[in-house]
């Protein structure tokens, strides 16, 4: 039993500690992410059946691909990546990137060269060391079995770059988890003059006014009505109970007791006057409807839907115009029977539409409403710090190449052979050019000119 568990453990470590496995996880992560780009997220089932063949639509819904980023697949793959990253960091990265000083067989390492230098062993050793020191290499000496080895390192500290990058990812993951555990977000639309209590925070927001600015621009492809500003004037009452007037604009959220409120959208609410046999029906006429809202007509199976507001009706065609500024406003109303649309009409403001059985509806006046998003995210500092840590890890990993030189000085004939091999954390090719230049420099700095039969070309590629 114990051996079975330990064999299982070994398999787990071997699999999760393998970079190729990690890359496989990345690939799955990438594919899931891409599915979310291609398949519209958070739509109703009918939308998928309208856009895809039935079998695919069914699969999308069953597999949770309609909300993929919160599906068990997605959370699971991130979890597996975190496990793999942890195992890999301890089992692979640390041993591989922080190797102890040890002797090597110089000519077995692809990046190697040896040069011949005249002089006694001690003096050559000193000169070689001071050469490397003067080039910014940090030199250490060790004895192994009575033989002296010199090790020269560059950017040794940067060996930790990978660890920093990996740590950054873990911190970001922690930050997003904090939001899941303790954060919240929501949205609310407030009609001008009305107040709303935010359920999660108990803050009260009253919309005093909303303004939008549209700039018409004549472009090559015709008139474009470019929105250039959305501003909500609100009175907010937070935890201290003191109402304050504030301004919310796009890119300028407000902070009430740690929760941020954002300008997200706007629209036109309409007050409809509803009459039955010429008598005002107060219970229905008092309501202000937002776009998309509906009410049932009493005593019938009809539902009146306020589809949308039309700021400008084109005088000539009688159809909605592109201008989003309010000139000749109308509303689009539709009547539904048992969930099916029975008819739709464009109804100018102050005119009435007859719904049959003595019912009449008159869109009387419009009021702007402003849509707000609010969000409390205590994970943000962690995500921010994690991002910076991750970024520093990447920069350290990519721009500071830790390289180690293994240097041996062996007496030969009237001088010494200096053998040098180099290893980096990214293979040999990346250091080949520098190695060659370094060795040439070493040779010329050692050299009282004369024949040097032992110089071998650095074996770069």
Q: Which residues bind another protein (CB under 8 A)?
A: 19-20, 22-23, 26-27, 29-30, 33-34, 36-38, 41, 69, 185, 215, 217, 219-221, 224, 226-230, 249-253, 260, 262-264, 373-375, 377, 380, 383, 387-388, 390-391, 394-395, 397-399, 425-427, 429-430, 432, 460-461
The partner in contact with residue 36, picked from another protein, ligand HEM, none with C-beta cut-offs of 5 to 8 angstroms by kind, is another protein
Burial-class residue 154 by CB neighbours within 10 Å (0-12, 13-18, 19+): buried
The partner in contact with residue 271, picked from another protein, ligand HEM, none with C-beta cut-offs of 5 to 8 angstroms by kind, is none
CA–CA separation, 351 and 297 (whole Å):
19
Establish how many alpha carbons lie within 13 A of residue 3's alpha carbon, considering only the half-sphere containing its beta carbon.
0
Which residue's entry shows tokens 């205590």? 378
By CB under 6 A, how many residues form the interface with ligand HEM?
A: 20
Smallest distance from the beta carbon of 169 to another protein, in angstroms? 10
Kindly tell me which of 92 and 118 has the beta carbon lying closer to ligand HEM: 92
Kindly tell me which of 108 and 315 has the beta carbon lying closer to another protein: 108
A 10 A CB-CB count for 229 gives: 12
Kindly tell me which of 238 and 393 has the beta carbon lying closer to ligand HEM: 393
Kindly tell me which of 35 and 162 has the beta carbon lying closer to ligand HEM: 162
Restricted to residues 200-259, the positions that interact with ligand HEM (CB under 6 A) are: none
Whether residue 308 contacts residue 331, with contact meaning beta carbons closer than 8 Å, is answered with yes
Single out the residue of 77, 111, 390, 409 in contact with ligand HEM (rule: CB under 6 A): 390
Question: Is 91 a residue that touches ligand HEM (CB under 6 A)?
Answer: no
Single out the residue of 92, 118, 249, 375 in contact with ligand HEM (rule: CB under 6 A): 92
Smallest distance from the beta carbon of 387 to ligand HEM, in angstroms? 11
Single out the residue of 332, 394, 395, 455 in contact with ligand HEM (rule: CB under 6 A): 394
Question: Is 424 a residue that touches ligand HEM (CB under 6 A)?
Answer: no
Question: Is 77 a residue that touches ligand HEM (CB under 6 A)?
Answer: no
The partner in contact with residue 226, picked from another protein, ligand HEM, none with C-beta cut-offs of 5 to 8 angstroms by kind, is another protein
Partners of 449 in the β-ladder? none
Whether residue 149 contacts residue 402, with contact meaning beta carbons closer than 8 Å, is answered with no
**Window of 84-92, 141-149, 349-357, 379-387 that interacts with ligand HEM by CB under 6 A:** 84-92
Kindly tell me which of 273 and 404 has the beta carbon lying closer to ligand HEM: 404
Smallest distance from the beta carbon of 170 to ligand HEM, in angstroms? 9
Could you give the C-alpha distances from 211 to 261, 269, 399, in angstroms and in order?
17, 14, 50
The partner in contact with residue 85, picked from another protein, ligand HEM, none with C-beta cut-offs of 5 to 8 angstroms by kind, is ligand HEM
Q: What's the chain look like in SS3?
A: CHHHHHHHHHHHHHHHCCHHHHHHHHHHHHHHHHHHHHCCCCCCHHHHHHHCCHHHHHHHHHCCHHHHHHCHHHHHHHHHHHHHHHHHHHHHHHHHHCCCCCCCCHHHCCCEEEEEEECCHHHHHHHHHHHHHHCCCEEEEEEECCEEEEEEEECHHHHHHHHHHHHHHHHHHHHHHHHHHHCEEEEEEEECCCEEECCCCCCEEEEEEEEEEEEEEEECCEEEEEEEEEEEEEEEECCCCCEEEEEEECCECEEECCEEEEEEEEEEEEEEEEEECCEECHHHHCCEECCCCEEECCCCCEEEEEEEEECCECCCCCCECCCCCCCCCEEEEEEEECCEEEEEEEEECCCCEEEECCEEEEEEEEEEEEEEEEEECCCHHHHHHHHHHHHHHHHHHHHCCCEEEEEEEEEECCEEEEEEEEEEECECHHHHHHHHHHHHHHHHHHCCCCCCCCCCCCCCC
Smallest distance from the beta carbon of 93 to ligand HEM, in angstroms? 4
Kindly tell me which of 266 and 400 has the beta carbon lying closer to ligand HEM: 400
Question: Is 162 a residue that touches ligand HEM (CB under 6 A)?
Answer: yes
Question: Is 166 a residue that touches ligand HEM (CB under 6 A)?
Answer: yes
Smallest distance from the beta carbon of 426 to another protein, in angstroms? 7
Restricted to residues 17-56, the positions that interact with ligand HEM (CB under 6 A) are: 19, 22
Smallest distance from the beta carbon of 168 to ligand HEM, in angstroms? 7
Smallest distance from the beta carbon of 31 to another protein, in angstroms? 9
Smallest distance from the beta carbon of 227 to another protein, in angstroms? 6
The partner in contact with residue 84, picked from another protein, ligand HEM, none with C-beta cut-offs of 5 to 8 angstroms by kind, is ligand HEM
Establish how many alpha carbons lie within 13 A of residue 193's alpha carbon, considering only the half-sphere containing its beta carbon.
5
Phi/psi of residue 430, nearest 5 degrees: -65, -20
Smallest distance from the beta carbon of 33 to another protein, in angstroms? 5
Smallest distance from the beta carbon of 419 to another protein, in angstroms? 23
Kindly tell me which of 149 and 184 has the beta carbon lying closer to another protein: 184
The site for ligand HEM (CB under 6 A) is made up of 19, 22, 81, 84-85, 88, 92-93, 96-97, 162, 165-166, 169, 390, 393-394, 397, 425-426
């Amino acid at each position: 039993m114990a051996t079975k568990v330990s064999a299982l453990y070994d398999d787990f470590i071997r699999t999760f500690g393998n970079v190729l496995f990690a890359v496989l996880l990345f690939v799955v992560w990438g594919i899931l992410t891409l599915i979310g780009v291609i398949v519209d997220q958070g739509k109703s089932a009918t939308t998928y059946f309208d856009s895809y063949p039935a079998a695919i639509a069914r699969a999308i819904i069953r597999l949770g691909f309609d909300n993929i980023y919160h599906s068990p697949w997605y959370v699971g793959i991130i979890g597996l990546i975190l496990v793999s990253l942890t195992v890999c960091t301890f089992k692979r990265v640390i041993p591989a990137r922080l190797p102890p000083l040890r002797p090597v067989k110089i000519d077995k390492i692809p990046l190697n060269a040896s040069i011949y230098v005249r002089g006694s062993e001690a003096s050559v050793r000193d000169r070689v060391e001071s050469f490397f020191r003067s080039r910014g290499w940090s030199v250490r000496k060790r004895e192994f079995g009575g033989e002296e080895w010199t090790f020269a390192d560059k950017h040794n500290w940067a060996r930790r770059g990978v660890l920093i990058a990996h740590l950054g990812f873990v911190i970001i993951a922690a930050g997003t988890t904090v939001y899941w555990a303790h954060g919240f977000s929501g949205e609310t639309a407030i009609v001008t003059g009305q107040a709303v209590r935010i359920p999660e925070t108990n803050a009260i927001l009253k919309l005093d006014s909303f303004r939008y600015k549209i700039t018409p621009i004549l472009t090559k492809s015709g008139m474009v009505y470019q929105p250039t500003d959305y501003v909500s004037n609100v009175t907010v009452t937070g935890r201290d109970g003191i109402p304050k007037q504030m301004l919310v604009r796009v890119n300028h959220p407000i902070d009430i007791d740690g929760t941020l409120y954002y300008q997200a959208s706007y629209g036109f609410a309409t007050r409809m006057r509803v009459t039955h046999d010429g008598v005002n029906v107060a219970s229905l006429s008092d309501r202000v409807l937002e776009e998309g809202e509906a009410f049932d007509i009493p005593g019938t199976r009809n539902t009146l839907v306020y589809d949308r507001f039309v700021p400008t009706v084109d005088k000539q065609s009688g159809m909605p115009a592109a201008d989003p500024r309010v000139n000749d406003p109308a509303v689009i109303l539709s009547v539904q029977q048992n969930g099916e649309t029975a008819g739709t009409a464009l109804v100018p403001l102050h005119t009435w539409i007859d719904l049959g059985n003595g019912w009449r509806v008159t869109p009387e006046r419009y009021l702007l409403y402003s849509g707000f998003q609010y969000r409390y995210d205590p994970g943000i500092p962690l995500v921010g710090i994690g991002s910076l840590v991750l970024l520093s890890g990447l920069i350290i990993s990519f721009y500071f190449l830790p390289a180690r030189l293994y240097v041996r000085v062996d007496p030969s004939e009237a001088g010494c052979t200096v053998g040098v091999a180099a290893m980096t954390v990214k293979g040999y090719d990346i250091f080949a050019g520098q190695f060659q230049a370094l060795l040439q420099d070493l040779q010329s700095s050692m050299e009282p000119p004369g024949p040097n039969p032992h110089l071998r070309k650095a074996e770069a590629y």
